[in-house]
Amino acid sequence: MDEKTNLLEKIKLGAKGSAAIVAVIAIVFILATQVFYSVSEDEQAVVTTFGKVTGTESAGLHAKVPFIQRVYKVDMTTHGVGIGYEILGGGQNIPIDTDAKMITSDFNLINVDFYMEYRISDPVAYLFNTEQPEMILANEALSCIRAVVSDFTVDDVMTTGKGQIQSEIRDMLAEELAEKEIGIAVVNITVQDAEPPTEEVALAFKEVETAKQGRETAINNANKYRNEQLPAAQAEADRIVQAAEAKKAARIAEAEGEVAKFNKVFEEYQKYPQVTKKRMFYETMEDILPDLEVVISDGNVSQYMPIEVADRG
């Protein structure tokens, strides 16, 4: 009996020792999980002490005081959300008519879907300034979208005004979020789709868009033809101008030569008026009638004399 009792006592002691070891391991594990924590590259941690923010931590392994400090991890990557539609699993988009339907400046109704990308810019403000920052973001985005779309005509919303609409919404929403201080910043917002609420009107607008594209094509073709023809026309114009300038220079040179010739003849005329007049007469007659012959007569006897002989005489 004594041996049995001793054996039972040893077993009990061994069980107690094992339990103590397990308890110590459990305590160490709990303390380890409560003391140490890791932050990934895509996260930022906010540390509070007795409920008050005392710091933020970036990626890496960090330690905190158990039961006194608490750590909140915030995903700092870019997120996307649809406005006017809901993105379900598998990438399926479900329209939300109440959010998508808007009124334009020319009092037409139109369905517009947007895709917004955002990120957490201030993790402390994101966690503690408001209870539902994403809901505030969605409401502010929809409010800004409606305000901007109402300044554009339905034609602009569906066609050429999309870029400006996106830019104005992004700027307006950035100002609103900065004022609300919810710790979220808009990265980008784009128009996914814009169409009238009825199929008949949508078809009409598509025809208008097709016509506009045809107009743009015609304008581009006309500009291309102009750009091709202008250099040739300019070259021809330059050729005509150069030819005119050459002719002008030739006429001026010819006129200057005639003036010089006239001045020379005039000088001779002043010296010998009769001889000069006679010579000018013969030269003129030679130009007019190259075969002219001069007849010299005393009334009874006639003598023929070639013009060149008369000129020499």
Q: Report d(CA 189, CA 191) in Å as an integer.
A: 7
Domains and CATH numbers, the chain: 18-73 (no CATH), 79-197 (3.30.479.30), 255-312 (no CATH)
Task: Tell me which DSSP letter residue 230 carries.
Answer: H
Quote the pTM value: 0.56
Tokens of 218: 């015609």
Of 184, 169, 196, 44, nearest to 112 by C-alpha is: 196
In terms of phi and psi (left: phi > 0; alpha: psi -120 to 50; beta: otherwise), the region of 301 is beta
- The whole-number pLDDT of residue 10 equals 55
- The whole-number pLDDT of residue 35 equals 82
Residues 6+ apart with CB under 8 A from 158: 110, 194, 195, 196, 205, 209
Instruction: Confirm if 114 and 82 have CB atoms less than 8 A apart.
Output: yes
pLDDT mean values, one per 10 residues, the chain (313 residues): 54 57 63 80 94 92 88 94 80 78 88 94 94 93 94 89 94 94 95 78 69 84 84 84 86 82 74 71 69 57 49 46
- The whole-number pLDDT of residue 85 equals 86
Indicate the residue type of 281. Answer: F
Q: Report d(CA 155, CA 205) in Å as an integer.
A: 8
